[in-house]
Amino acid sequence: MTNPVEKKDYSKVAKVLGDCLKLRQAPVAISFTDSVPASINEFAGRVPAGCRFWEDAAGGAFATSAKDHSLCAVGVYTHNLQSSAGQQTDLHDALKVFGELGYVTDRDLALIPVLQSQQKYIIYSPLAGAPLSPDVVLMFVNASQTLILSEATQQVENQNPPAMGRPACAVVAQVMNTGRAALSSGCCGARAYLDNLTDDMAVFAVPGAKLELYTARIEALAKANTVLATFHQIRRRDIAAGQMPTIKDSLAALQAAN
């Protein structure tokens, strides 16, 4: 978990990620802590679900506590926040409906990640202005961006990232508990509450402790993908024109195009 005295400039990392991946929304930093820096205001307002904070964080840093997540019993559960009797009732009622629909069974529930520790506050902010070292960095991504992130995960973690479904908020607990990146396809709730989570988008989360490693690999892989995409486009064009190019021929054509 983060320490409130920690402070680091993440603006360069955020710019590299945004530029290399061509993100629609800048990366979001999520930090769990027991105390809030004096410079950070507590969240003012009401949201229908905790995942909404992922989008609102693009506008600036704020701190949330269990009360700010009060209308999202599932998010309170996955983030292991102190729940009220009302939230426990809401969770029970939601799970009952989920079970009747065949959406979440008792067996499924045991597989949903839940944060192993319990903190008083969750701070959300643009990565560029993160007031604390982030525990999780979250990005809204399309398939092309997911390709680069998955390749980076393969190199940093020596394994492929898990692809998760409902609930979307569980991706934060997954990354926190494992220290490894994960992809979330979202859930129907998150897609209803978030404007950025359109049908062509998903959520990718990386552990803050490995952010620099990921950023370095993402930068290199994004450049490689751009070059290789042009290479394959040239081969497609030439083969469609009736040619039989070797790899050396296509590489020469690529060099000539540059």
> What type of residue sits at position 50?
G
User: Residue 174: enclosing H or E segment and its boundaries?
Assistant: helix 170-178
What does the pLDDT read at residue 5?
47
Query: Are 141 and 21 spatial neighbours (Cβ–Cβ below 8 Å)?
Result: yes
Residue 1 lies in a domain: no
| Dihedral (CA of 100, 88, 116, 6) sign | positive
Tokens 């909404």 — which residue? 52
CA-wise closest residue to 126 among 187, 75, 55: 55
Query: Are 206 and 215 spatial neighbours (Cβ–Cβ below 8 Å)?
Result: no
What does the pLDDT read at residue 194?
95
Residue 2 lies in a domain: no
Residue 3 lies in a domain: no
Helix axes 143-157, 11-21, angle to 10 degrees: 120
Is 0.85 topped by the overall pTM? Answer: yes
Q: What are phi and psi of 130, to 5 degrees?
A: -60, 125
Residue 83 lies in a domain: yes
The secondary structure of residue 204, as a DSSP letter, is: E
What does the pLDDT read at residue 91?
73
> Which residues on adjacent β-strands are paired with residue 105?
none
Q: What are phi and psi of 6, to 5 degrees?
A: -75, 135
Residue 4 lies in a domain: no
Residue 94 lies in a domain: yes
What does the pLDDT read at residue 1?
55
What does the pLDDT read at residue 151?
96
Domain residues for the domain of 91 are 11-257
The secondary structure of residue 128, as a DSSP letter, is: G
Residue 131 lies in a domain: yes
pLDDT, mean of each 10-residue run, the chain (258 residues): 63 96 96 91 89 93 89 83 76 77 78 88 95 96 96 94 92 95 94 94 96 96 94 94 93 89
| Counted domains in the chain | 1
Residue 6 lies in a domain: no
